[in-house]
């Protein structure tokens, strides 16, 4: 990548149909694990018009009411219009109980090192973790800002500050870089869906969103929009409908938004809807944990950690580190330190982050919190992989 460039990232609100599906999938995972921390579960959703389809495979001593979980998420997101709402939408569920195997109900917290080595990855995965020093969350600035705008848009809706807003919204932020560092805000784009009788014309909508969404999002930001920043609201004109009645949603279709906004590489597999035994989910968290600690330790301004897992093998077959030319020590030295201080075996990751018990510790809602506004870079949720507890050792 050139030293001078423009990069844009997008985010969506929790009411976007794809994100609704992610939230329902993770709410199902939460409900299983809250009552049975050793449950195995995969949940996927699709939504369009007034129909939600849920497919789930599980082995658990607990049997939650999955349609009720889905309706509660829809209601909490705020869909209440006649075209789509929690009460009237049809919820179709394909639920497949799997044989329960007591030997598979492993408590990683009690395993010896040798026993951890006997718990292999059961999926092939290439996963990536990334961190940079551009923002307090150590994620790229355009993604950080896109998430902030999307959160503000959702807050304005949920607090009824603008009665005409619907839950569905989208944001995009372009940032110009000079000498590899964020320099100015190139562009802001907001797409807001309106419903009800109090529809605003585009000029009024722009004024409302500037006052209640854009300006508050930039209060604490060192780089703000300037006179040359291109600000666009609903570029295709007024949107008087939104959500599943207009466009379909699917679990796992927003992996770039979930991770690094394509500023860094990310795996193609969905993160949401999977229990903590799935290495294609937890490996992403472990790689992010390592990358973030490398940056906080001052070893590099940017760091990408890549892990390759083979089915049937606990240790990653490959651990690669790329500092993108920002390292203060050699890339090989950083890789050696990462390999020495981080255990990337699946059972070790589950134990280090206590992933099985987090839903119960958070009153049945942990993984769902991640399914909108990013699985990484969060400062509003205490995520174990966001802690910088290994930085001193890396130094």
Domain residue spans in the chain? 5-12+141-244, 18-106, 114-134+252-394
Give 313-347 pLDDT, tens digit per residue: 999 999 999 999 999 999 999 999 999 999 999 99
CA distances from 175 to 67, 137, 226, 323 (A): 42, 17, 12, 21
pLDDT for 240:
79
Handedness of CA 363, 20, 16, 242 (dihedral sign): negative
Sheet holding 40-48, edge to edge: 90-97, 51-59, 40-48, 249-250
Overall average pLDDT of the 30-49 stretch = 96
CB atoms within 10 A of CB 250: 17
pLDDT for 242:
87
* Total-model pTM: 0.96
Q: How far, in Å, CA of 363 to CA of 378, rounded?
A: 19
Overall average pLDDT of the 4-33 stretch = 97
Q: What DSSP character marks residue 108?
A: G
- Mean pLDDT across the chain, nearest whole number? 95
Q: How far, in Å, CA of 92 to CA of 87, rounded?
A: 14
CATH architecture of 5-12+141-244: 2-Layer Sandwich (3.30)
- Residue 383 pLDDT greater than 90, yes or no: yes
- The radius of gyration computed from the CA coordinates of the chain, to the nearest angstrom, equals 21
Residue 328 tokens, joined: 């203060």
- Please name the helix (run of DSSP H) or strand (run of DSSP E) that holds residue 152, with its range, or none: helix 141-158
Q: What is the largest CA-CA distance in the chain?
A: 65
Residue ranges with strand state E in 72-157: 80-81, 84-85, 90-97, 125-132
Overall average pLDDT of the 242-252 stretch = 94
pLDDT for 83:
86
Overall average pLDDT of the 222-238 stretch = 93
Cα three-residue angle 55-98-72, rounded to 5 degrees? 40
Q: What DSSP character marks residue 169?
A: E
Identify whether the C-beta of residue 243 lies closer than 8 Å to the C-beta of residue 166.
Answer: yes
pLDDT for 3:
84
pLDDT tier at 81, thresholds 50, 70, 90: confident
Q: How far, in Å, CA of 331 to CA of 320, rounded?
A: 9
Long-range contacts of 34-38 (CB under 8 A, 24+ apart): 34/359, 34/360, 34/364, 35/60, 35/61, 35/62, 35/64, 35/360, 36/60, 36/61, 36/62, 37/356, 37/357, 37/359, 37/360, 38/105, 38/106, 38/107, 38/356
- Residue 382 pLDDT greater than 80, yes or no: yes
List, in sequence order, every residue forming a beta bridge with 230; answer none if it has no partner: 187
Q: Does domain 18-106 have CATH number 3.20.20.150?
A: no
Fold topology of 114-134+252-394 = GMP Synthetase; Chain A, domain 3 (3.30.300)
Burial of residue 343, with CB atoms counted within 10 A of its CB: 0-12 exposed, 13-18 middle, 19 or more buried? middle
pLDDT for 66:
96
pLDDT for 41:
96
Residue 367 tokens, joined: 């993984």
CA 254 centroid distance within chain? 8
**Secondary structure (H, E, C), 30-46:** HHHHHHCCCCEEEEEEE
Question: For 46, phi and psi rounded to 5 degrees?
Answer: -140, 140
Give 346-376 pLDDT, tens digit per residue: 999 999 999 999 999 999 999 999 999 999 9
Q: How far, in Å, CA of 272 to CA of 372, rounded?
A: 10
- Residue 157 pLDDT greater than 70, yes or no: yes
Which residue's structure tokens are 């009153």? 363
pLDDT for 100:
83
pLDDT tier at 197, thresholds 50, 70, 90: low
Q: How far, in Å, CA of 142 to CA of 108, rounded?
A: 38
pLDDT tier at 80, thresholds 50, 70, 90: confident
CB atoms within 10 A of CB 380: 9
- CATH topology match: 5-12+141-244 vs 18-106: yes
pLDDT for 184:
97
pLDDT tier at 295, thresholds 50, 70, 90: very high
Identify whether the C-beta of residue 15 lies closer than 8 Å to the C-beta of residue 243.
Answer: yes
Q: How far, in Å, CA of 167 to CA of 78, rounded?
A: 6
pLDDT for 68:
97
- Residue 4 pLDDT greater than 80, yes or no: yes
């Amino acid at each position: 990548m050139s030293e001078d460039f423009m990069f844009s990232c997008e985010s969506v609100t929790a009411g976007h149909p794809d994100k609704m599906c992610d939230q329902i999938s993770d709410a199902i995972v939460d409900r299983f694990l809250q009552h049975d921390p050793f449950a195995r579960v995969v949940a996927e959703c699709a939504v369009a018009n007034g129909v939600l389809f849920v497919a789930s495979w599980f082995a658990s001593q607990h049997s939650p009411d999955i349609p009720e979980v889905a309706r509660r998420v829809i209601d909490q997101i705020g869909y209440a219009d006649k075209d789509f709402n929690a009460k009237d939408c049809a919820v179709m569920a394909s639920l497949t109980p799997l044989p329960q195997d007591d030997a598979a109900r492993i408590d990683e917290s009690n395993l010896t090192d040798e026993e951890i080595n006997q718990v292999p990855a059961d999926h092939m995965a290439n996963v990536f973790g990334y961190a940079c020093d551009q923002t307090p969350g150590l994620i790229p600035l355009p993604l950080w800002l896109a998430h902030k705008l999307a959160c503000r848009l959702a807050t304005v809706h949920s607090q009824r500050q603008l009665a005409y807003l619907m839950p569905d919204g989208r944001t995009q932020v372009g940032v110009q870089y000079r000498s590899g560092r964020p320099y100015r805000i190139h562009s802001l784009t907001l797409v807001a869906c309106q419903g009800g009788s109090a529809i605003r014309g585009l000029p009024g909508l722009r004024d409302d969103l500037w006052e209640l969404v854009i300006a508050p999002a930039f209060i604490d930001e060192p780089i703000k929009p300037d006179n040359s920043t291109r600000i666009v609201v609903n570029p295709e004109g007024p949107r008087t409908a939104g959500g599943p009645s207009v466009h379909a949603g699917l679990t796992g279709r927003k992996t770039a938004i979930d991770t690094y906004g394509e500023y860094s590489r990310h795996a193609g597999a969905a993160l949401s809807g999977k229990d903590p035994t799935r290495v294609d989910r937890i490996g992403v968290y472990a790689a992010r944990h390592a990358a973030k600690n490398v940056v906080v330790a001052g070893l590099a301004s940017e760091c990408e950690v890549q892990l390759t897992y083979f089915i049937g093998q606990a240790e990653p077959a490959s651990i690669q580190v790329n500092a993108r030319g920002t390292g203060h020590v050699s890339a090989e030295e950083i890789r050696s330190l990462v390999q020495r201080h981080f255990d990337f075996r699946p059972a070790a990751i589950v134990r280090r982050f206590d992933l099985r018990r987090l839903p119960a510790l958070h009153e049945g809602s942990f993984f769902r919190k991640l399914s909108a506004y990013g699985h990484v870079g969060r400062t509003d949720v205490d995520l174990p992989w966001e802690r910088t507890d290994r930085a001193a050792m890396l130094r």
